[in-house]
Structure 1
Amino acid sequence: MTSENVIVVKAPSSKSLSHRALIAGALSEGSTVVLDPLDSNDINRTMDCLSTMGAKFNIDGTATTVTGMDGGPKGGAKEPAVLEMRDSGTTCRLITALAGAGKGLFRVQGTPRMHDRPIGALTSALESQGTKVTFSDKQGYPPVTLEASGFKGKQMDISLEESSQYLSGLLLGAPLADETTIINVIGEKAVSWPYVALTLNVMEDFRVKFEVQAKKDGVWKKTDWRKVEKVVPGEIRFVVEPSKFDRDEYRVEGDWSNASYFLAAGAVGNNPVKIEGMNVNSLQGDRAIMYILESMGAKIESDDHSVTVYPSKLHGVEVDMSKCPDLVPTVAVAAAFADSPTTITNVAHLRIKECDRLEASAAEVMRAGGKAEITADSITIIPAPLKKGERIVFDTYDDHRLAMCTAIFAMAGIESIPAEPGCVAKSFPGFWDEWEKVKKGNGC
């Protein structure tokens, strides 16, 4: 394969790290310059909420200067400060935790879909710190009003069965407490650990003092959080000391979640795709897309700043994707190009995303001609002849990931049309411009 055949695209900045870096800057006392934060609807939601709580932002090209809240998140005295989440689940969970660590009245609200996404496990943890929680409609779901007086320190418990973002939000708020805070993980299982690692990485970069402790022979001992691969409830806890967030400058790396569509296209299309701006040593859990595609037979090459995927004959695999749920729609579509079935397991938490992503992924694979079966926490893709030459309008469910993953069906010779192309603005406003490069390079 000559270099002239390689399609080159650039990944957008990491959405997960952009949220966390901007929050850390807002919790700092001075100013922080965040370089290359993602420009997307979700990130704008987080910035708007942080502004409501007292932070200030100045955007100059690709640099955003964040001026901290000076004393922590501030709510209303008599009327709640309205924190409008719209449809950003990450914003909702992280910012709700920060509101509990702040002082005053806050109202958390969003779109109708956001009001169907649970938040009770997080608000229970906030109640243990003295926050008064009042749900407007359905118990455990937004809209919710918080009357906060700051974290009290000491101990709180959190379940990660629904989302790791609950823990990430509490970790980001814990340094504001007057005393050392111990956060215990409870429940039956914990999902999406790599996102917690991203939070810890940002906290470390902003000089927050914390320890991760694991239980060994009944005794809590400090452990290297970078080497933690799996969270077992009851056997890990987080000890956060009162600290000041402090960093002059922070650069956001490329986003592995949004790079996944181009990587998959390289594997199932006619020409290789090179994605620039990627950190192959990233702590982002969705870096797993490289290894999942490789396990399916894809040829992949990488260097310090890019990844190239070559057209390959794919075969089915069985893969646990509990740590990288945002990749499931991408892998489901790629699996439709394979020569044998693929089963993705431990992904029940996909049912409470922007849509029920298990049902949606199965439906759209079948719309393209493939076969799919789902259980409560798994999806199996059974390859069948795809509808080459047909024009298909794919339902996007007002979900950015469904819009982007179904675009990959163009590599099968399908004229793939998204029902709502604009929904990609949630995480990747420039997706369709970059995707045109892939289509053109494959003669679509």
Structure 2
Amino acid sequence: MSKNPIIVNAPASKSLSHRTLIAAALAGGVSNISSVLESDDITRTRDCLTACGASIVEKDGVLVVTGMSDGPKGGNADGKHKDETPHELFMHESGTTCRLMTAVAAAGKGTFRVHGAPRMHERPMAELTTALAALGAKFAFEGQEGYLPFVMTANGYKKKSVEITLEESSQYLSGLLLGAPLADHETTISVIGEKAVSWPYVALTLRIMEDFKAGFAVEILDGREWKAVPWRSVKGVKPGKVRFIVQPMGYENTGYQVEGDWSNASYFLAAGAVGTRPVLLKGLAADSLQGDRAIMDILSQMGASIKVNFDGILVEPGPLRGINVNMGRCPDLVPTVAAVAAFAATPTTIGNVAHLRLKETDRLAACANELARVGCGTEATVDSLIIRPAPLPRDSEVNFTTYNDHRMAMSMSLFELAGIKVNLDNPACVGKSFPGFFEEWKKIVG
């Protein structure tokens, strides 16, 4: 190897930090959780869990979680004090917190006011609120039906079965799965609709449920018969062909360490592909269930050299070419891959990503707009993004808009490796998932 690699430690997984804290809070007893990501979104989930009755205390870098004794409790939980105010579940801009915690709170008892930042009030929730209403929750929408803010009156999951689609987000299903062990009967959750996105995130939910001893089975329709299959064998979901049977066993407390985050590591792995020095990422599980592990395959297809060894994941630069890639399973990687595509010699098409229009911003439009600033030809269709690279304006200064979207801010930083002075209108928005990003990024850009 020509140059020594830049060594970076991957931050903890945001997806697994949310799910681990929720499972620990729903378990009886005390769980010690280490390596939890510190970020705005995780703070939102912590605050919602403590509002529902859990205790989360930091001690020597470990979060000591004392679970709710009998599920989430909201204001007026016993129905005797009609004037008691609902418990506040404030989501700010965390879509994950919003979808997971709304479903989990609905599995408890009491009234909860669910609200967030203005952008959160624009993101659809009807898919989930309809499913929760079918299970017995009642909703009073303060504005448009199917959107935050609303007051939810919960009395546990009363019905034995519910249907959900994964067309907008897999988090609706993850939320129902996390709440279902609290029911006092077996719950069957069936996936319906036209298509299913982001299956790997559901696999992360099932992994945490298994690790905290929640009982469940995954069944696949084989002809006319439902057959149980090992959940790790499921690599994708065909609506109408999969269902989840969750047992009313609750969760057991345990000690747990959260693994590294492939989404937030993607910017550093990409830096190894587009920069002049190799980058070695430590703390990632190469066999992770995280969908964003796909960044290894994508960068490799584009021409970078990827090596997995005992030290970590090593990425070395190479001549990059454009690719056609379906990113329905790993939508959070789209801004990273779009930025790398600008460094390639030929065009890239990113497909099956219509659900990106519902993120912190319309991420397809945002990527198209910002890549145009460095000279790329860009085209955003209903569900795809086409990037036609042009020579990058090296030794220039470019002002990028972040749209208050952490992933846009981190992805556009990659253009520093083209010798461009990158000015971001709101660099602080990285606090949503990775407050220490720019400190780590200094290792890359010197």
TM-score, length-normalised on structure 2? 0.97
Q: Identify if the C-alpha distance between structure 1 residues 180 and 22 changes in structure 2 by more than 3 Å, giving closer, same or farther.
A: same
Given candidates 83, 94, 98, the residue that maps to 2:100 is 94
1:268 paired with 2:274, answer: yes
Partner of 1:369: 375
Partner of 1:64: 63
Residues 314-349 of structure 1 show CA distances to partners (whole Å, capped at 9, x for unaligned) of 111101000000000000000010111110000000
Which letter does structure 2 place at the counterpart of 1:27? L
Given candidates 130, 137, 147, the residue that maps to 2:143 is 137
Which letter does structure 1 place at the counterpart of 2:44? R
For 1:316 and 1:278, the matched residues in 2 are separated by 26
1:5, distance to aligned residue in structure 2 (A): 2.4
Choose 316-325 or 147-156, whichever is displaced more.
147-156
For 1:13 and 1:94, the matched residues in 2 are separated by 19
1:103 paired with 2:102, answer: no
For 2:377 and 2:43, the matched residues in 1 are separated by 38
Aligned pairs (5 A) from 1:121-270:
121-270=127-276
For 2:310 and 2:57, the matched residues in 1 are separated by 31
SS of 2:161's equivalent? strand
Partner of 1:281: 287
Equivalent pair of 2:274/2:340 in contact (CA under 8 Å): yes
For 2:249 and 2:434, the matched residues in 1 are separated by 33
1:291, distance to aligned residue in structure 2 (A): 0.4
CA RMSD, Structure 1 to Structure 2 (Å): 0.9
Partner of 2:331: 325
For 2:414 and 2:30, the matched residues in 1 are separated by 41
Equivalent pair of 2:136/2:159 in contact (CA under 8 Å): no
Mark the runs of 5 or more structure 2 residues left unpaired by the alignment: 77-83
For 2:310 and 2:238, the matched residues in 1 are separated by 33
Which letter does structure 1 place at the counterpart of 2:58? I
Equivalent pair of 1:185/1:237 in contact (CA under 8 Å): yes
1:153, distance to aligned residue in structure 2 (A): 4.5
Over the matched positions of the two proteins, sequence identity in percent amounts to 56
Equivalent pair of 2:28/2:253 in contact (CA under 8 Å): no
Mark the runs of 5 or more structure 1 residues left unpaired by the alignment: none
For 1:162 and 1:304, the matched residues in 2 are separated by 38
SS of 2:284's equivalent? coil
For 1:342 and 1:397, the matched residues in 2 are separated by 23
For 1:353 and 1:273, the matched residues in 2 are separated by 29
Partner of 1:342: 348
For 2:207 and 2:20, the matched residues in 1 are separated by 10
Residues 197-247 of structure 1 show CA distances to partners (whole Å, capped at 9, x for unaligned) of 000000000011100000001111001211111111100000000012113
Which letter does structure 2 place at the counterpart of 1:132? K
For 2:236 and 2:141, the matched residues in 1 are separated by 33
Partner of 1:13: 12
1:396, distance to aligned residue in structure 2 (A): 0.6
Residues 52-93 of structure 1 show CA distances to partners (whole Å, capped at 9, x for unaligned) of 000001112321010001110000103211100000000000
Which letter does structure 2 place at the counterpart of 1:75? G
Equivalent pair of 1:17/1:252 in contact (CA under 8 Å): yes
SS of 1:25's equivalent? helix
Choose 151-160 or 272-281, whichever is displaced more.
151-160
